[in-house]
Structure 1
Amino acid sequence: MTALSDSEVRTAHLVASVLLGYPDGRLHEARPLLMKSVAVLPAGEVRARLAAFLVHVAATGRGDLEAHYVATFDLKRRCCPYLTYYTYGDTRKRGAALLRFKHAFSAAGFELTSEELPDHLAVVCELSARGAVGPATRLLREHRAGLELLRRSLEAERSPYAEVVAAVEATLPPAGPRERAAALRLAAEGPPAEQVGLEPFGVTGEHR
C-alpha cells in the first residue's frame, strides 16, 4: 500500500469528515465536490472505499440516509462515533482523555464550543482536514483499537458507514500487534461502565 502524502490525507479526511456527519441537505449539495475530491486521490483502498459510500449516497433517499444514521450512531452503543468511549466508557478517565483532544484542538488554533465532543471521529477528521494532520493522526493512532472496533461493529450491522471508517483506518500506518491485541480485548470486554457527568467539549461546526 502506497502511503498518502499529507495533502492527500487532508483530502481523504475532509471527505470522511463530511460523510460521517449527519446526512442532511448539505451532504447532497456537497456530493459532486466530494466526488471530485475523491477522484484525485491515488488509486487504492482509501479512494475505493470513499467512492463506494458516495455511490451509496447517490442511490439512497435523504430520508433513508437520515434514518439509517440515527439508527446506527444514536441508537447502537456498539457503533459509537466517539473514540474515547471504547477505551474509557462513561468513566472519570474519559474526561481526562477528552482534555487531551481539547488541547490538541487548542494547540492547532481551533476554538472549541459546547456543540460537539472533540473525540467524534468526524471532528477529528476535520482537525486533520484543516491542516493539523500530525496531531489528528496521533489521536487516531492512540485510539486505533476503538476505531477498529467501530469499523467491525458497522460491518456486523452491514452499514455502508463501515466503508468510511475503513477509509480513515487506511490513511494510518498498519496496525501493530499491540494495537490488534487492544482491539481484540475491547471486542471481548467492551468499554468500562461508570456513569459520571462529562463536561461537553465541542468544536465549531456541527456534525449533526
Structure 2
Amino acid sequence: MSGRHPAPALPGEQLAIAWQTASLLLDYPDESLLARLGMLRRLSETLTGTVGDPLRACIGRLESGSLSTAQEDYVDTFDTRRRHNLFLTYFAHGDTRRRGVALLRFKQTYLRSGFVLDDTELPDHLCVVLEYAATVDQRLGWNLLLDHRAGLELLRLALRDADSRWFGAVQSVTATLPPLRGDESAAVRRLAAEGPPQEEVGLTPYATPAFDPATRPPGSPQPLPMPSFPGGRR
C-alpha cells in the first residue's frame, strides 16, 4: 500500500469495517451510539477473530450499565489521564510546539483527499483518523496509523492495564496493523517509562513560528490555508 510501510494483511473491506466500528465505539457515548450497538455487533461478526472479538468485547461492556455511567467513565478515562490520550500526536510531541507542525501534517494529508474538518475537531483524534481511513482514503489513513504505531500501542497497553471498557476497540485497531518493529518497540518502552514530552506553555494547535503570518515577510505565500468551511465526519 505504501513504499514506506508494509501492506495490510486484511482485505480493504474488513479494514473499513474494523476501523469505522472502532471509531464509533471510541467516540463519546450517547443515545445514538447505544442504538447502533446491535448493528456494530453484526458487522463485527464478519471480521476475523483477532479483530472482531475485541470489538464485541467492547460492545458488550458498553451494553452493560447505564448511559450516564458510561459517559462518566469515558470522561474519567480519556480526559484526565495522559496515557489514555486519543490524540495521536500527543504521544510523540506532548505539549510542545512541535505538535503544531504534526497537526498540520494531518490537515495536509486530509486535504490531499478533499477531506475537511470543522473547527470543533482536531485532526489527530483517533476517531477522526479511523473514520478517514475507513471511508475516505484507506492508503493515506493506513500511513497515518503506522506513523503513530508506538503511541497506539502505548494507548492499548494503558487501557488494558486499567481494565477499560474501551480496551477492545483499540486492541482491534492494533490487530489490523503489522507487528511492532524493533524501533517501534523501543519507542513504546521509552514512552512507557517517560510519558509524552512536556515542554512549552501556551501552546495553540497550529501556532508555530513557521506558520505564524506575523513572522513571514510581506507578500510571502501561506504554506497551507486552514479550512474553516464545514466538512467533517458523520
Q: Structures share a fold, TM > 0.5?
A: yes
Cα separation, 2, equivalents of 1:144 and 1:64: 30
Contact 2:62 2:165 in 1 (8 A): no
Indicate yes or no: 2:204 matched with 1:197.
yes
Contact 2:88 2:148 in 1 (8 A): yes
In the other structure, the counterpart of 1:38 is 44
Aligned length: 204
In the other structure, the counterpart of 2:164 is 159
DSSP-derived class of the 1:158 partner: coil
Contact 2:23 2:130 in 1 (8 A): yes
Seq. identity, %: 41
The structure where helix makes up a greater share of residues is 1
Cα separation, 2, equivalents of 1:142 and 1:60: 36
Contact 1:10 1:131 in 2 (8 A): no
Cα separation, 1, equivalents of 2:173 and 2:65: 22
Q: 1:112 offset after TM fit, Å?
A: 1.8
- 5+ residue gaps, structure 1: none
Q: 1:151 offset after TM fit, Å?
A: 1.1
Cα separation, 2, equivalents of 1:69 and 1:100: 28
Structure with higher Rg: it is 2
Cα separation, 2, equivalents of 1:67 and 1:78: 18
Cα separation, 2, equivalents of 1:118 and 1:60: 31
Q: Give TM-score scaled by structure 2 length.
A: 0.83
- 5+ residue gaps, structure 2: 1-7, 208-225
Cα separation, 2, equivalents of 1:115 and 1:131: 19
Listed one character per residue, the Cα deviations across residues 70-123 of structure 1 (whole Å, up to 9, x for unaligned) are 000011122110000011011111011111111111112211211111111111
Q: Give TM-score scaled by structure 1 length.
A: 0.92
In the other structure, the counterpart of 2:27 is 21
Q: Letter of the aligned partner of 1:181 in structure 2?
A: A
Indicate yes or no: 2:102 matched with 1:97.
yes
Measured on the aligned residues, the alpha-carbon RMSD in Å equals 1.8
**Which of 119, 122, 127 is the equivalent residue of 1:122?**
127
Flag as ranges the 4+ runs of structure 1 deviating above 3 A. 199-203
Contact 1:128 1:134 in 2 (8 A): yes
Listed one character per residue, the Cα deviations across residues 111-157 of structure 1 (whole Å, up to 9, x for unaligned) are 12111111111110000111311111111111111111111111221
Indicate yes or no: 2:202 matched with 1:174.
no
